[in-house]
């Protein structure tokens, strides 16, 4: 019987499986991969376990179609839901995934009443509201992954543009996930040098634009949505919680007056550690950035308004 701590990933699709794979290779926790498709999570778990023999980690990934194995998880990552298909309206996506995320949340919290919930399912901001309403858990323990992914995309483009190591890029993207994201250019540096000193304003605009449409660009190329960077981003959040790293990471958190936004899930920098969100970090925004954040909040409210619950 393994005595390691446990993380559950719900949804054995590309994002969930990548998250499970990255966590397994980090080698500090057992991972349970849950999916309703028979044999799918079991097959992916077996494959990830065998990868351990090559990369030298002690794997214990279990695939399951139920939730018994997830009992006592400290973190539950929810990636379940349908991707948006051509011709599908955003509202259709909201109502379909509302049912899926609601039932998954209910099943997961019954087995792990003290866990932290990380929501990855889209439309992300609305699905966080669903998980919070269904669980009834405090906002510190229910939040979403989006900002890390947007920030990773922005950082990648900055590293390419400035011919620098991505390790030296510090960026921060706030707001709703997608076209309404707000890159905080004033807080973006390369090796400590402000981005505006290195790159012209119109080039920054281009990178911002490409970041906002980053998911769409990959869908156009692949015919399906991204999974490597999103899966790894979710795993980074799990690390910060499980290892109590207290990283300041952009996450979709429930705001009650911070940044002047009330009663809404939005992407903001938070300190993530044991127990979930330990603090919401309020950056000094420029007037333009605050205006963009307010517009982003309006767009998120519109999507949340489609929820039936």
Q: Which two tokens stand for residue 175?
A: 């707001």
My answer on whether 151 and 190 are in the same domain is yes
Is residue 219 in a domain?
yes
Of 144, 175, 198, the one marking the end of a domain is 144
CATH code of residue 279 = 3.90.110.10
Q: Which domain holds residue 75?
A: 5-144
Do 12 and 33 contact (CB within 8 A), yes or no?
Answer: yes
Of 100, 121, 144, the one marking the end of a domain is 144
Whether 3 shows a pLDDT value over 90: the answer reads no
Pair type for strands 29-34 and 5-10: parallel
Of 113, 144, 175, the one marking the end of a domain is 144
Is residue 235 in a domain?
yes
Is residue 176 in a domain?
yes
Is residue 185 in a domain?
yes
My answer on whether 183 and 222 are in the same domain is yes
My answer on whether 228 and 265 are in the same domain is yes
My answer on whether 44 and 92 are in the same domain is yes
Whether 2 shows a pLDDT value over 70: the answer reads no
- Listed residue (118, 182, 122) closest to 145, CA to CA: 118
Is residue 128 in a domain?
yes
**From residue 77, how far is each of 119, 131, 218, 219, 237 by CA, in Å?**
6, 11, 23, 23, 10
Q: Report the distance separating Cα 229 and Cα 19, nearest Å.
A: 9
Mind telling me the catalytic residues? 177
My answer on whether 137 and 165 are in the same domain is no
My answer on whether 129 and 265 are in the same domain is no
Percentage above 90 pLDDT, the chain: 91
My answer on whether 69 and 112 are in the same domain is yes
Which residues are CB-contacts of 50 (< 8 A; sequence separation ≥ 6)? 59
Is it true that the peptide bond before 251 is cis, omega within 30 degrees of 0? Answer: no
**From residue 141, how far is each of 77, 123, 296 by CA, in Å?**
12, 19, 23
My answer on whether 202 and 139 are in the same domain is no
Is residue 161 in a domain?
yes
My answer on whether 33 and 151 are in the same domain is no
Q: Which two tokens stand for residue 302?
A: 């519109």
Is residue 41 in a domain?
yes
- Listed residue (44, 71, 69) closest to 59, CA to CA: 44
Q: Report the distance separating Cα 145 and Cα 234, nearest Å.
A: 6
The whole model's pTM is what?
0.96
Bridge partners of 248, per DSSP, are 271
Do 308 and 281 contact (CB within 8 A), yes or no?
Answer: no
My answer on whether 109 and 151 are in the same domain is no
Q: Report the distance separating Cα 33 and Cα 61, nearest Å.
A: 7
My answer on whether 67 and 208 are in the same domain is no
Total structural domains in the chain?
2
Q: What is the pLDDT of residues 174-215, one digit of tens each?
A: 998 877 889 999 999 999 999 999 999 999 999 999 999 999
Do 255 and 281 contact (CB within 8 A), yes or no?
Answer: no
My answer on whether 130 and 178 are in the same domain is no
Count CB-CB contacts under 10 A for residue 246.
Answer: 13
Is residue 309 in a domain?
no
Name the residue with tokens 């405090």: 138
Whether 223 shows a pLDDT value over 70: the answer reads yes
Q: What is the pLDDT of residues 31-88, one digit of tens each?
A: 999 999 999 999 999 999 999 999 999 989 999 999 999 999 999 999 999 987 777 7
CATH code of residue 92 = 3.40.50.720
Q: What is the pLDDT of residues 26-47, one digit of tens each?
A: 999 999 999 999 999 999 999 9
Q: What is the pLDDT of residues 4-19, one digit of tens each?
A: 999 999 999 999 999 9
Give one DSSP letter per residue of 150-217, joined into a string. Answer: HHHHHHHHHHHHHT--GGGEE--EEESSSTTEEE-GGG-EETTEEHHHHS-HHHHHHHHHHHHTHHHH
For all residues of the chain together, what is the average pLDDT? 95
Do 112 and 96 contact (CB within 8 A), yes or no?
Answer: no
| Residue spans of alpha helices (H) in 86-194 | 90-111, 124-135, 147-162
Q: What is the pLDDT of residues 106-120, one digit of tens each?
A: 999 999 999 999 999
């Amino acid at each position: 019987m393994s005595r390691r701590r446990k993380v559950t990933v719900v949804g054995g699709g590309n994002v969930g499986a990548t998250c499970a794979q990255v966590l397994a290779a980090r080698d500090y926790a057992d991972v349970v991969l849950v999916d309703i498709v028979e044999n799918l999570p079991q097959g992916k778990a077996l494959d990830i376990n065998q990868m351990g023999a090559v990369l030298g980690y002690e794997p214990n990934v279990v695939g399951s179609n139920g939730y018994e194995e997830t009992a006592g998880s400290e973190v539950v990552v929810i990636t379940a839901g349908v991707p948006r298909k051509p011709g599908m309206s955003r509202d259709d996506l909201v109502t379909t995934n509302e049912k899926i995320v609601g039932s998954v949340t209910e099943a997961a919290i019954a087995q792990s009443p003290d866990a932290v919930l990380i929501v990855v399912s889209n439309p992300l901001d609305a699905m966080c509201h669903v998980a919070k309403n269904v669980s009834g858990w405090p906002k510190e323990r229910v939040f979403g992954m989006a900002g890390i992914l947007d920030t990773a995309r922005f950082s990648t483009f900055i590293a390419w543009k400035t011919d620098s190591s991505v390790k030296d890029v510090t960026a921060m993207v706030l707001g709703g996930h997608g076209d309404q994201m707000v890159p905080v250019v004033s807080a973006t540096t390369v090796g400590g040098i402000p981005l505006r000193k290195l790159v012209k304003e119109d080039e920054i605009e281009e990178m911002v634009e490409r970041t906002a449409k980053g998911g769409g660009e990959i869908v156009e190329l692949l015919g399906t949505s991204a999974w490597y960077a999103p899966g790894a981003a979710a795993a980074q959040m799990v690390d910060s919680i499980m290892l109590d790293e207290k990283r300041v990471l952009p996450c979709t958190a429930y705001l009650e007056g911070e940044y002047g936004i009330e009663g809404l899930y939005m992407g903001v920098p938070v300190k993530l550690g044991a127990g979930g969100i330990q603090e919401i970090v309020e950056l000094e925004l420029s007037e333009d950035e605050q205006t963009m954040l307010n517009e982003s909040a309006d767009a998120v409210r519109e999507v949340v308004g489609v929820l039936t619950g």
